[in-house]
């Protein structure tokens, strides 16, 4: 009887922990502290954003889930199976902003799910020219003095934290083409691109195709040169071995015996 009771307690404990992993109650929205900072509109689907931190809101990542997946979780899917991974990274916890300014949000936007967040952003979002977009993609760090006056003046007004840059003409086509970059407004007169190297290569490929369609040429930067430059051939150097005459390697005793016989 004790074993059955213990087994039942363990099952309840697992269910309780699993519920905390994917909190989806209507009285808890992990994105609420981000609404003002990013200017998220009223139609922002905050019910589709969940965290593994439970009601305490201490989850490292806020995920975006499709509506059908979200409905399954709200119906108690996590009571029957253990939810290992679900959704796209939309926001990620970052201690840098809160350490320097407690009024700033604890989460920054992520490139992985930005195309589901950016359409609802009314702040910290800017459309830029092909030249500015390529500078943001390739330069490390991005010096604001290299950007156009209009783009640089807008970024300079923003506080420390994340923002997004969209290529002009793709504001309403973010899901299919995803010509958008997540950036970080740092200290001083600079910013950084928060996109992985693999995804950068994919964006460059689409950017080259777009420039070709428009009859434009992309500027050459240090990073694009390194990415397109052919790899140097590897030279195989064989070790140098000295050939020693057989006579020099003959044993000394044999040489002395021959000399004695000759005399």
Does the CA dihedral 116-121-124-129 come out positive or negative? positive
Q: Tell me, what's the pLDDT at 219?
A: 75
pLDDT given at position 7: 41
Residue 97, pLDDT score: 63
At residue 55, the pLDDT reads: 52
Cβ atoms < 10 Å from Cβ of 14: 12
pLDDT at 1: 46
- In this prediction, the residues of the chain whose per-residue pLDDT falls under 70 are 1-28, 53-58, 96-100, 221-263
Q: Please tell me whether residue 13 adopts helix, strand or coil conformation.
A: helix
- The predicted structure's pLDDT at residue 36: 92
Q: Which residues pair with 185 in a beta bridge?
A: 161, 191
- Write phi, then psi, for 49 (nearest 5 degrees): -115, 125
Residue 207, SS3 per DSSP: helix
- pLDDT score recorded for residue 24: 45
- Where do we find the tokens 């916890």? 93
pLDDT of 216 reads 78
pLDDT in tens, 70-82: 888 777 777 787 7
Q: Is the pTM of this model over 0.75?
A: no
Q: Are 122 and 35 in contact (CB under 8 A)?
A: no
DSSP 183: E
The pLDDT value given to residue 256 = 56
CB atoms within 10 A of CB 11: 10
Q: What is the pLDDT of residue 8?
A: 41
- Residue 5: its pLDDT value, please? 45
Run of H or E residues at 64: strand 61-64
């Amino acid at each position: 009887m004790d074993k059955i009771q213990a087994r039942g307690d363990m099952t309840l404990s697992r269910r309780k922990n699993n519920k905390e992993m994917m909190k989806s109650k209507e009285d808890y929205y992990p994105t609420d502290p981000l609404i003002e900072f990013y200017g998220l509109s009223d139609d922002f689907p905050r019910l589709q954003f969940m965290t593994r931190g439970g009601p305490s809101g201490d989850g490292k990542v806020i995920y975006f889930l499709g509506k059908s997946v979200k409905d399954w979780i709200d119906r108690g899917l996590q009571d029957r199976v253990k939810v290992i991974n679900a959704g796209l990274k939309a926001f990620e916890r970052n201690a840098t902003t809160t350490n320097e300014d407690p009024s700033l949000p604890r989460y920054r936007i992520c490139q992985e799910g930005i195309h589901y967040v950016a359409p609802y952003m009314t702040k910290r979002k800017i459309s830029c020219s092909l030249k500015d977009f390529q500078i943001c993609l390739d330069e490390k760090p991005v010096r604001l003095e290299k950007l156009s006056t209009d783009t640089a003046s807008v970024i300079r007004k923003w506080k420390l934290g994340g923002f997004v840059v969209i290529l002009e003409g793709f504001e309403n086509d973010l899901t299919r083409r995803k010509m958008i970059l997540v950036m970080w407004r740092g200290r001083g007169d600079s910013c950084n691109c928060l996109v992985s190297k693999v995804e950068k290569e994919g964006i460059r490929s689409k950017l080259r195709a777009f420039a070709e369609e428009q009859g434009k040429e992309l500027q050459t930067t240090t990073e694009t040169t390194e990415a397109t430059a052919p790899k140097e051939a590897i030279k195989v150097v064989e070790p140098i071995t000295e050939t020693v005459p057989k006579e020099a390697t003959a044993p000394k005793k044999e040489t002395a015996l021959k000399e004695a016989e000759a005399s």
